[in-house]
Amino acid sequence: MKERVHLIIKGDVQGVGFRFRAIEVARDLGLAGWVRNNPDGRVEIVAEGEKDILQNLITWSKKGPPAAVVEKALVTWQKATGEFEAFTVKY
């Protein structure tokens, strides 16, 4: 059964390759959704897939790529809508 996770990542997470790497990780996991930089300096991710696979994305997001400094990852579980076909950058 598919689920949706909404993540807000706080810290030094913009300009360090976080979005680029998040796309790679999500696609490698077979997830669909999007990632974007928010004006307040946080990174936001919405992803859909199997819960155990989404947990892998959450675990990665709490650390991020090597240049990132993640202070906090806010995780909200939601019902999947099936609206995404791929994982992309949202502007």
Reported pTM = 0.97
Q: Which CATH number fits domain 2-85: 3.30.450.20, 3.30.70.100, 2.60.40.10, 3.50.50.60?
A: 3.30.70.100
pLDDT greater than 90 at residue 1: no
> Residue 34 is which amino acid?
W
pLDDT per residue as tens digits for the range 28-44: 999 999 999 999 999 99
| One-letter identity of residue 22 | A
| pLDDT value, residue 68 | 97
Whole-number average pLDDT of the chain: 97
What are the phi and psi torsion angles at 68 (to 5°)? -80, 150
Domain ranges for the chain: 2-85
pLDDT digits (tens, 9 = 90+) for 2-30: 999 999 999 999 999 999 999 999 999 99
Can you tell me the mean pLDDT for 69-90?
Answer: 97
Residues designated as active site: 19, 37
- Can you say whether the dihedral through the CA atoms of 76, 82, 87, 89 is positive or negative? negative
